[in-house]
Each structure stands twice: as C-alpha cells, then as structure tokens.
C-alpha cells in the first residue's frame, strides 16, 4: 500500500505583535484543515506567532513571554493533525527564527533558519542568530526536510536536508510582494528542486503590514520544477496537496488546482487594495478621508480606497481655489458620484486670501513663487486634518513615486497624512493602473486620464513646466532608484546628460522631504522607505 501525506498550506493573515490572536488563528485553521481538507500536516507562515516583520518588538521581554505562552497553547490544543508553526526562539545564545513541528501534544522537532537575509527590506541579522543543522521529520512515513524562507534561496540548506534523508521539502515563508516576485520565487524553487531532486511545498504569508504586502501565492512543485498546485494570489485560505510515494519509492505530489498568474497591473492593483485595507483595518480606523482634485493621482487613490474599504467608509473632499479649473471640479464630482462616496466641496479661497493678507508685509517686494503655491496646499491639509481629527477617519495622501522622488510635493501640505497608497507607483504606472481599474468597471472619468497633469497652483500650470515628460523622467528614476545607475550609465542608455544630472540632483536634494512622508504600499524592487536609506546631508555629487 502506497504511503501518502496530505499537506495544507495555511495562507493566513496575521497581525504583528498579536501573539494570542495569531495562536487562535493557527488553532482554527488547523481544525478546519483537518476537518474540511483531510490534512495530515498544516504549514503556517514564517514567524507565525509574532507576525512578520516584528522588528524591535523582538527585543521586548513581554513579547518573549507571550510567544512562550502562545507556543504552549498550540502544543496543548492542536489535535488530530500536525502543524509547522514559525516563532522567535529565545535562548541564552540569542534569538533564532525558528519553526516548531507540533504533533500529538508535543514539539516533535524544531528548525532554526540558517540563511538570514540582510538586504532590501530585510534586516534579520540585527535580531537573529543563524541555525546550522538540517531538520528532517517523519510524517505518515514520509521524511520531510524543514526550511524557512531564505533557506531555499541558497543551495546549502536544501542539500543538507537531502543528505539527511529528506524526501520532500516543506518551506514556510514571509515573502513580501513586489512586481514579478512570484516569478522569482518559483525560479528559485525550481533551481532547488533541480539541485536536490525533491518536491517542494511552499507556503507564504498573506496580508498587509505597514509598507509591506504579502500576496500568498503558495505553491507545490515537483522534483522536475513543475508547479502542480498554486493557491490564488491575494486570497486567504488553506490549500491542500497530496504527496505520494510511488512504486519506485519516489515521493511525488499529485496534481491540483494551479491558480492563474495576474497581469502586472492586476497584481499591483491588488497589492494596493490589500495594503490599504489592512493598514486601515489593523489600526482600527472607521474609514478614510482624502482630497479629490480632479487629477489622475487622487482619482486612482479614491478608486483603491473604495475597493479596499467600501464606499461608505470613504469621504472625498474637493477644495477649489482661484486656480482650480471648472473641468477639475466637474470631474471630481463625477467620480464621487460614480463610486458613491460621501463628497464635500470646501473652498480654500478665503483661507488663502487671509494667509496672503497676513504675510503681505513679509512678502513685500518679492514676486509670487512656490511660496504662494505651497500655501494653497497647506490650506487644504488644514481642512483635511480637521476632518480627520473630528471624524476619526485616517487621511490618505495621493502623491506618486515620481513626485516623491523629485520633491514635486509640498511638505506639510499634500504630503501630510497617515498612509500613501500610490507612493511607490510611478506616474506612468498610475496611468496604467487607472486604465486597468476602468477595465473592471468605470471608476475614473476618461477625461481625468486623458488630460495633461497639473497641480493647478498657478495660472495654466502643467507638470511639464517643472519636470521632464514622464516618459523621460520615470525611466531615469527607475534606473537610479532601483538599479543604482550613475549619470554616465543613464547617459549610455540614451538619456540627455544634463536632464539626467538635474533629475538625480532633485532626488538627492529632496531626501529630507521623503523622511517625513507617510508610509505607503511597496510594489517595486526598491521603494522609498524600508529599503531606501540615503543620507539627508551629503556632499556626494553623482
């Protein structure tokens, strides 16, 4: 009789620091995986009990006590099924990023993560000690090698598990989303499968945590590197796969449902919606408020907010000034009607005029410039923050990555707020996302997408007055921010040297603004925030 093992991949949404709540989610998911899916073993994401990334919470003695209680609870209460649960393991030698295999009321085995990532958004070497030994357990007659996330990204841990007798690899992960990340994960897993000739069960975390979004996309791969099961992206749930030892004694997974991949626009949009939903929800805000200018950035942000939270939890405010066009007023009203949100029109003209009158003597003999433009933006933020304070709704900001990069935003003005959904989306990507969202059902008036972008802070203003065309600006920014290219290297790609030098100077000069910006969803290979650490004060010149 052939031996088989049914493994459930628990793609669940956890909350950093909520150890008791996370332990409860483990118990409920394990119970349902056994009762509804017939699972023998349930894999939970990396650092299940404390959530990922816990950052300096790991250093609090109170967290240690809660983790110990949470692990004991899972050990004592899980029944009729084995579980692999991630947790921070505190020892005299330091903290380990560990996973416990729990079965029959006992901790049957523990694996300590060997490969600790310390790049991009990861800084695990700040907190954890590396493990050194492979961990192989027997589950229903099959020998399973336990790995944690980065252990799969280099050959050694998989090879040690294979040498120790593993017949399949079980990998628990907290791998954050970025565009094309699933392709990279599966390429890495395929390389490991080829290295060691073993199938892989890979579970990933789901949900939003500050700037990071975890997209799930858990999968099962055979020893040839073929994906035989893939869980749906951006969806919570448990998904089962069966591994069978065949007549030749080789363990192989049976084919299951392989969820289709998403287009770039669909995956980014899904990440933005999930990031907003969980940031607002996990902080307990009743909803959000935001400015709606009639431009493309606020239009996309409003669509994201409604898709994330529902129209009843979103308030949009149009705040016209003497420079706001009638087209902008009409388009903002039309979008608010399309999406069914609470909509207000609050003119800033009196505030703006009063501020100019107060500063008249101070501004005497000086021509109008960015100061007057920024005053308008700050008047708007005064109204929005007042509404946020009064209603308890969090303020969403609407700036994009191109603007944040070159400082085309007002400090304590349109940069103010609690969360910036499209902070990591270039202007060209904003247009693509707007078109994608409208393909699902019209949410953004066509004229908003087609008209030239403008801040409308002075007569006849357009973005192109101050910036290179976005078709030029965005590739330069991507090369510098995501690839660390120099002026010489960008010029070699065909860009005008003077334009490149000007753009890069703007990026470096405006670091002080970005340090004071709200967090936003990370979707690119390198976002402003956790994985962008440039000095504010610097004498470096290209």
Pairing, β 41-43 against β 82-91? parallel
28, two tokens: 């409920």
Say which DSSP state 103 is in. Answer: E
Residue by residue, DSSP assigns 267-328 as: HHHHHHHHHHHHHHHHHT-S-EEEE--SSHHHHHHHHHHHHHH-GGGEEEEE---TT--HHH
CA distance 540 to 285: 42
State the CB neighbour count (10 A cutoff) for residue 224: 12
Angle at the Cα of 428 from the Cα atoms of 427 and 429, rounded to 5 degrees = 90
Is the C-alpha dihedral spanning 76, 77, 80, 81 positive or negative? negative
Catalytic residue among 50, 89, 113, 401: 113
The bridge status of strand 288-291 relative to strand 314-318 is: parallel
113 is catalytic: yes
Structure tokens of 246? 């065949």
Q: DSSP of 157-223, one letter per residue?
A: HHHHHHHTT-SEEEEEE-----TTHHHHHHHHHHHHHHHHT--EEEEE-EEEETTEEEEB--EEE-T
Query: 5 pairs with which residues across the strands?
Result: 243
Q: What is the 3-state secondary structure (H, E, C) of 372-390?
A: HHHHHHHHHHHHHHHHHHH
Query: For the chain, what is the radius of gyration of the CA atoms?
Result: 26
User: Is 149 in the active site?
Assistant: yes
- Active-site annotation holder among 46, 89, 115, 124: 46
* Closest listed residue to residue 11, CA positions, set 276, 220, 295, 292: 220
Phi and psi dihedrals of 162, rounded to 5? -60, -45
Structure tokens at 269: 């949009």
Give the active site residue among 89, 115, 124, 149.
Answer: 149
Q: Are strands 251-253 and 237-245 parallel, antiparallel or unpaired?
A: antiparallel
Active-site residues: which are they? 46, 113, 149
């Amino acid at each position: 009789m052939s031996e088989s093992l049914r493994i459930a991949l628990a793609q669940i949404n956890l909350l950093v620091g909520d150890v008791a709540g996370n332990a409860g989610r483990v118990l409920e998911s394990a119970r349902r995986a056994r009762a509804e899916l017939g699972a023998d073993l349930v894999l939970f994401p990396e650092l299940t009990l404390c959530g990922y990334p816990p950052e300096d919470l790991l250093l609090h003695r109170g967290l240690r006590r809660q983790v110990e209680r949470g692990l004991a609870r899972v050990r004592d209460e899980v029944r009729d099924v084995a579980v692999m649960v991630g947790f921070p393991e505190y020892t005299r030698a330091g903290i380990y990023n560990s996973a416990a295999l729990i079965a029959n009321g006992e901790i049957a085995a523990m694996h300590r993560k060997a490969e600790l990532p310390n790049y991009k958004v990861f800084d695990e070497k700040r907190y954890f000690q590396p493990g050194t030994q492979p961990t192989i357990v027997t589950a229903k007659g099959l020998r399973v090698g336990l790995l944690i996330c980065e252990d799969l990204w280099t050959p050694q841990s998989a090879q040690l598990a294979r040498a120790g007798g593993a017949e399949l690899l079980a990998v628990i992960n907290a791998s954050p989303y970025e565009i094309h990340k699933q392709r990279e994960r599966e390429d890495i897993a395929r390389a490991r499968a080829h290295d060691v000739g073993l199938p892989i069960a890979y579970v990933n975390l789901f949900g939003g945590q500050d700037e990071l979004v975890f997209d799930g996309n858990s999968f099962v791969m055979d020893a040839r590197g073929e994906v035989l099961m893939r869980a749906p992206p951006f969806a919570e749930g448990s998904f089962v796969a069966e591994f069978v030892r065949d007549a030749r004694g080789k363990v192989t997974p049976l084919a299951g449902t392989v969820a289709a991949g998403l287009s770039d626009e669909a995956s980014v949009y899904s990440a933005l919606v999930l990031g907003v939903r969980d940031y607002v929800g996990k902080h307990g805000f009743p909803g959000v408020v935001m400015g709606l200018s009639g431009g493309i950035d606020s239009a996309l942000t409003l669509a994201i907010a409604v898709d994330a939270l529902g129209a009843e939890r979103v308030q949009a405010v149009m705040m016209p000034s003497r420079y706001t066009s009638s087209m902008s007023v009409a388009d903002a009203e039309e979008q608010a009607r399309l999406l069914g949100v609470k909509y207000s029109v609050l003119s800033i003209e009196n505030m703006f005029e009063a501020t100019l009158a107060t500063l008249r003597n101070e501004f005497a003999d000086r021509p109008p410039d960015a100061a007057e433009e920024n005053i308008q933006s700050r008047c708007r933020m005064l109204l929005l923050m007042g509404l946020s304070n009064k209603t308890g709704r969090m303020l969403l900001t609407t700036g994009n990555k191109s603007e944040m990069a070159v400082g085309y935003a007002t400090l304590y003005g349109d940069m103010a707020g609690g969360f910036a959904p499209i902070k990591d989306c270039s202007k060209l990507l904003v247009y693509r996302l707007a078109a994608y969202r409208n393909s699902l059902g019209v949410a953004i008036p066509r004229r908003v997408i087609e008209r030239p972008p403008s801040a409308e802070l002075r007569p006849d203003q357009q973005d192109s007055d101050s910036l290179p065309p976005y078709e030029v600006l965005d590739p330069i920014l991507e090369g510098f921010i995501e690839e660390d290219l120099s002026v010489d290297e960008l010029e070699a790609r065909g860009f005008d040297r003077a334009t490149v030098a000007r753009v890069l100077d703007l990026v470096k000069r405006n670091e002080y603004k970005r340090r004071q910006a709200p967090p936003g969803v990370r979707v690119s290979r390198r976002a402003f925030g956790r994985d962008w650490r440039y000095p504010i004060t610097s004498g470096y010149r290209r």
